[in-house]
Chain A
Amino acid sequence: MAKVDLIIIGNGMSGGRLLNEILKRDPDRFRITVFGAEGCANYNRIMLSPVLAGEIRADDIITHSEQWYRDHNITLHSNDPVIAIDAESRTLTCQSGSLFSYDTLVLATGSDAVIPPAARDCDLDGILSFRNLADIDRIMSRAGNSRHATVIGGGLLGLEAAWGLRQQGLEVTVIHRGGWLLNRQLDPAAGKLLQQSLEARGISFRLNAEITQFSANQTLYSDESSAIRAGDSESEVHPISVKPSLQQITLNDGTVLNTCLAVIAIGITPNHKLAKISGFDCDRGVLVNDRMQSSHPNIYALGECTQFGNHTFGLVAPLWDQAMVLADQLCQSSDSRFSVQPCATKLKVSGIDLFSAGEFLDSPETESVVCQDTTSGVYRKLIFRDQILTGVVLYGAVNDGNWYFELIQAQQQAQHLAPELIFGRRYCDAESISRLTPVGVEQVQTSAPELSLATGASS
């Protein structure tokens, strides 16, 4: 039987995962071609910050080496982005003009960094994003000549970048629009603890702050390095040019900070440019159904470029689910369907364990139990609504986070277990726990807890 031509556009984490899932199911079914923009092997994007911090080398995070593609007879095209798809003729065109035809096509183009308006409107050297290994190279090269760096965004990615830069020996200031760090995952108290901990590691913070202006001082900063314009999409190649260098940023309260390196990490947005110009149904991302099908026959989409219902994706676990569903579809191994599972956030910032699931802010309808250790820096909070555990924030000691996550999903009345509940499962009366075990807990357990690192998964 003739092999089916499968083309995957995007060589990020979800694309890589899809390859694994397909090979696991039916390694001989397809003749596979992969287009990647980054010009290298596939790597674990979640690990960019330790690379930036110098804790590990770039090689350490490779998941699929070029040799791996060769070993599995997969054709990898790097440095030649696809610029158009013709669904009618089942062909696609690359920047180089090469034409490829496919039987089945998968879009896994990932996401782009969100760029604040002030950065979009200027054209300065020294404003960078933190999205891929190339960004790391640019940041490192810029950092080598800087004493100070500014990170815009006090979310997960921003803090990882800040920590990495700090590890490089820079003075780092984080500009954050929220009132506390990780304000999408943590309550103010935990955010404050995280801030104190990072401050103790030499990072400064400006909260409730936005940048109104990036400005240059050409007399001080002439061309000193390759200049990359902020907000570059990796699918484009920019000529090296000489531009004015970033020298100052101005905050909305009028404060002016001297800085020559700004790393933008305020969020991501699905990269659906190719799909859009090729006439696919798009909203914020490439619209897919629960079989990961796009609006065009034989064309699927996967990962951070997709939009499923109202959801877009930045966490790794739903991407893994998508890869499994899509592999099932492509290999016709089963008719599994994708659905959005509840997410818990687990992460490590500069060695501090964090866990957050469900609600994390108090409200008049909720009751909370809070445990805090001033010396060891542990903070744990459970939130109940009508006796039901609806949220958990763990800082410093994240034991039993998954169990709380299960309890939240199970929607059993658990408040009577407080306050012991907050210390973890082994502090609770076993009998009371057994009575809590909800129906369908198996299902919840098999769903892997989500990892939140808002890096682009593929492009």
Chain B
Amino acid sequence: MTTSASSQACQVKTTCPYCGVGCGVSAEVTDNRLIAVSGDKSHPANLGRLCVKGSALHETTDLQGRLLEPHINGQPVSWDQAIDKVARGFQETIAQYGPDSVAFYLSGQILTEDYYVANKLMKGFIGSANVDTNSRLCMSSAVAAHKRAFGADLVPGCYEDLELTDLLILVGSNTAWAHPVVYQRIVAAKKARPQMKIVVIDPRHTATCDIADLHLPLKHGSDGYLFTGLLSYLAVNEALDSSFINHHTEGFDNALQAASQCTGSVAEAARLCGLDETDLELLYHWFSTTEKVVTLFSQGINQSSSGVDKGNAIINCHLATGKIGKPGAAPFSITGQPNAMGGREVGGLANQLAAHMDFSDPANIELVENFWQAPHIARQEGLKAVDMFQAVHDGRIKAIWIMGTNPVVSMPDADFIRDALQRCELVVVSDCVEKTDTTACADVLLPATGWAEKDGTVTNSERVISRQKGFLRPAGNSRHDWQIICSVAQAMGYAEGFPFSSPAEIFIEHAALSGVGNNGKRFFDISALAGLSERQYNEMTPVRWPQVKGAQTNPVRFFSDGKFNTPSGRARMLPVEPKAPLNQTSSRYPMVLNTGRIRDQWHTMTRTSKAIRLLNHIDQPFVDLSPVDALQYGISNNDLIEISNSLGRCVVRAKVTDGQPAGSLFMPIHWTAQFTSRGRVDSLIASVCDPIAGQPESKHCPVTIRKLEPLWQGILITDQELTDLPCEYWCKVPTQKGFRYELAGLELPENWQDWLGNLVEIGDDRIELNSSAAFRLATFADQQPELLFFASTTAVENKSLPNSAWLSKQFDQTIGSAAQRMSLLAGKPVDNNDDCGAVICSCFEVGENTIRQAISQGADSTDKLAEKLKCGSNCGSCLPEIRALLT
């Protein structure tokens, strides 16, 4: 970046910071401002497409709500003070309690270079492997399944396979909402080749089903049975690829035996999955008779107490039929976050060491120790996320550094996490946002750069490494995560290991490590990139790994040659005995709660909520439920619903939808305590994990529901940002000029004026409405609305609250006339065609405009006007005025 050219518009190619598709973004930048974004046509992931979130990126880079200064205990401090505090805090803790008394909790949002230095500091210099990441919540089951089957965490295919395939099975993935651009590519492929079959396996009828030839609404958590059933079907129907099995796999017999034992027939599999046998057999038939099959799986598989087995059950089917390593044929794990893959490559998880090496082989530990010149190399796995926070809670971990993530919202048993952090002696949080549920628990707050300021690389779901570019100046006093980590490392006395002055230097070391002692042993090898110059790094175009130094070509797909990354070179087929979700429903908690993303928000909304239009789609947290359950519980759309279990309690609005199976619920993951009273869905999720991957079972949680009967509902619009409003339900919805708060209460305030006055200042220039059933207030300053408040005790059953969108729009308007003020308070637009003008004849309410109109139509005397409009025919007081209009 050159600053001299900053006043001129320039196009910068960068990468979207949201989901794991990893779309290329063309950013138009002028004067340190992001003017517009568009899809990068040259990027292999999106080829010019962007989803609605990506298209709104330029609306999210303002400084509102940014963390701009380091803070200690809520007070702004200098960077030196903050770094010193963190370094000394960690050092003293380590000195007193050992290296395993500290931990880093990272994020799939930070860049590979950030990940690399954090991982290096903890595992090579502090001497603990207590580095884990929110990717644990997202794809660690898939990582473990990959490692078990392929010998390493390898995604065999690429997005093109989704277009080349003849049968695309989407399982546990609402691709349409969670990975919109990949979905668009699938839609386009299906349009081009209608014979291509698409099957959606999901308990819910989601938007993704729009293009499905077959939707299998299986029982929650029964996916394992579906794929063991498929394996036994393939065997029974002689649809196996014996040659591939014999030459390239091991463990087939055990795998098939296990599958046959639990799901020996289609009927049995259908029963266990709660599916129509004919439908299931159709899928099996298609799978067995189609050469090119891709099974795309995501959190519906991963977020399970048996997610690794489910992943292997899927992979088994592809291995047994040789549908892997070929164009249009692969099992395909799609990741949630923009750089989950980069973190995996770096080794930024507690059960990894670095560069696809783990702790199982002492030679690897020695290799990394030498490469890093590490004074304190970790020699065993650290604590995975759930265990890590448990250790924080029980005091084994006394200092934790959280970077770029919001575990108080996203971890299971989220209230326990908050409790853990509140108990912890030293909580350091690096973030680009000032107020999150997690920064609220921090002792030290470190302002990190955000997207468009950060500079480095990310890897998407198809192994493509792309540059994320810093083209805006860091906000306030914020610094890059890698800089902050290096500063702390240096302050801890590890300057020699962290001499980095640019992300390029870090990336090059990372790339070099991937090639050290490799010689084909580790499929993750990007050593060809270790020779990049700073400039080449900056200009690097998207590149798919592997990138082996000296190799003539690098494969687009893995395993085309039938070689896997296991010691034997064969893929492992695993015997899978599917298990039901660990926590089952009971009479006390009879409903199954499922969780997931919505289309237009990202994670905890810290950035997407800045783009107002992204709240147009869905503006409040909700729970989907089936019409059957709605009937049973007497619930209608928009009713306020309490969802609870022994862990927590949420309050959101009901959405009754045919797409939700009876007995189950769905809630979005995005709403935090910054946005709503009780919307943190993870406060309900138990810390039940897959025993291998440590990934929580976030898709299956027994709960009970209850319809709440609010005594009032309301809307408040103000430019003030509020939290903890004194009512049962509140939800903050950012608008162009302020914030709209949707409200509901179980108790009627004694005095509305007082209730409101405790929250916001109420100006004198006001219009208000008072009745037993309603209170409305609008205040103004210079004809601009300052405060709008509507409360109604009858809002529940009728329309006595105005349309929220209309009201929000009014907040940005100039409201000058008395009629406009009245219309605002009425909560409805005034039709100007109806405006009869100033009343001339009071007796018959005839206005000036009406009289003028009648005159223009020929009523040219007071008598004629009286005949036509009655005006002036009663008391006659207005006759002088009418006569004046006539002349």
Contacts and interface: CB of A to CB of B under 8 A. Distances in A.
B772 interface: yes
Contacts of A374: 764-767
A56 B876 CA distance: 14
A371 B765 contact: no
Interface string B812-841: 000000100111011110110010000100
B877 interface: yes
Given A348-B877, A369-B774, A402-B845, A420 B818 contact: no
B874 A449 contact: yes
Contact of A373 (B770, B800, B818, B880): B818
Nearest to A403: B845
Interface in A410-459: 416, 418-420, 422-423, 426-427, 448-449, 451, 453
A378 B825 CA distance: 12
A370 B771 contact: yes
A61 to B, nearest CB: 9
B876 A367 contact: no
B474 to A, nearest CB: 46
Interface stretch (A130-138, A237-245, A269-277, A392-400): A392-400
B877 A47 contact: yes
A289 interface: no
A419 B771 contact: yes
A398 B765 CA distance: 21
A401 B845 CA distance: 8
Nearest to A376: B818
Interface string B744-781: 00000000000000000000111111111110100010
B844 interface: yes
Contacts of B769: 369-372, 419, 422
Contacts of A215: none
A42 B181 CA distance: 85
A418 B768 contact: no
Interface in A179-202: none
B875 interface: yes
Interface string B855-887: 000000000000000100111110010000000
A96 to B, nearest CB: 33
Interface string A364-389: 00011111111110100000000000
A372 B775 CA distance: 11
Contacts of A449: 843-844, 874
Interface residues of B, number: 39
A426 B769 CA distance: 18
Contacts of B873: 448
Contacts of A373: 766-767, 818, 821-822, 825
Contacts of B11: none
B723 interface: no
A63 interface: yes
Contacts of A399: 839, 845
B841 to A, nearest CB: 10
Contacts of A375: 765-767, 780, 818, 821
A159 interface: no
B839 A418 contact: no
A348 B842 contact: yes
Interface string B214-239: 00000000000000000000000000
A367 B771 CA distance: 7
A350 interface: no
A322 B880 CA distance: 26
A376 B818 CA distance: 6
B842 A347 contact: yes
Nearest to B827: A420
Given A374-B766, A420-B828, A426-B831, A451 B774 contact: no
Interface in A79-126: none
Interface residues on chain A, size class? 35 or more
Contacts of B765: 374-375
Given A397-B818, A449-B843, A418 B770 contact: no
Given A60-B880, A373-B767, A398-B842, A418 B773 contact: yes
A367 B772 contact: yes
A423 B776 CA distance: 12
Contacts of A317: 874
A214 B876 CA distance: 37
Nearest to B845: A402
A372 B834 contact: no
Contacts of A453: 875
B771 A376 contact: no
Nearest to A423: B826
A188 to B, nearest CB: 14
A316 B771 CA distance: 34
Among A56, A396, A448, max chain B CB count under 10 A is at A448
A387 to B, nearest CB: 12
A326 interface: no
A320 interface: yes
B828 A371 contact: no
Contact of B776 (A400, A419, A426): A419
A400 B774 contact: no
A400 B877 CA distance: 19
B774 A418 contact: yes
A60 B842 CA distance: 19
A368 B772 CA distance: 7
Given A348-B842, A369-B774, A378 B818 contact: yes
Contacts of A46: 875-877
A370 B834 CA distance: 24
Interface in B202-221: none
A369 B775 CA distance: 9
A32 to B, nearest CB: 22
B786 to A, nearest CB: 12
Contact of B770 (A346, A347, A369): A369
Among A320, A398, A449, max chain B CB count under 10 A is at A449
Contact of B822 (A63, A397, A451): A397
Given A56-B880, A369-B771, A320 B822 contact: no
B822 A423 contact: yes
Nearest to A60: B880
Among B792, B826, B831, B870, max chain A CB count under 10 A is at B826
Contacts of B827: 420
Contacts of B818: 373, 375-376, 378, 396-397
A353 interface: yes
A44 interface: yes
Contacts of B764: 374
B877 A451 contact: yes
Contacts of A371: 767-770, 822, 825
A451 B828 contact: no
B843 A423 contact: no
B296 to A, nearest CB: 49
A164 to B, nearest CB: 14
Contacts of B844: 402, 448-449
Contacts of B766: 373-375
B875 A419 contact: no
Contacts of B770: 369-372
Nearest to B770: A370
13 contacts: A44-B876, A46-B877, A316-B874, A316-B875, A347-B842, A369-B770, A373-B766, A373-B821, A376-B818, A398-B845, A419-B771, A426-B830, A448-B874
Q: Which 5 pairs of residues, A with B, have the shortest CB-CB distance?
A: A376-B818, A451-B875, A369-B771, A423-B826, A373-B767
Given A376-B818, A451-B875, 15 more contacts: A44-B876, A316-B874, A348-B877, A369-B771, A370-B770, A372-B769, A416-B798, A419-B771, A419-B773, A419-B774, A420-B826, A420-B827, A423-B822, A448-B870, A449-B844
Interface of B: 764-774, 776, 780, 792, 798, 800, 818, 821-823, 825-828, 830-831, 834, 839, 842-845, 870, 873-877, 880
Interface of A: 44, 46-47, 56, 60, 63, 316-317, 320, 346-348, 353, 355, 367-376, 378, 396-402, 416, 418-420, 422-423, 426-427, 448-449, 451, 453
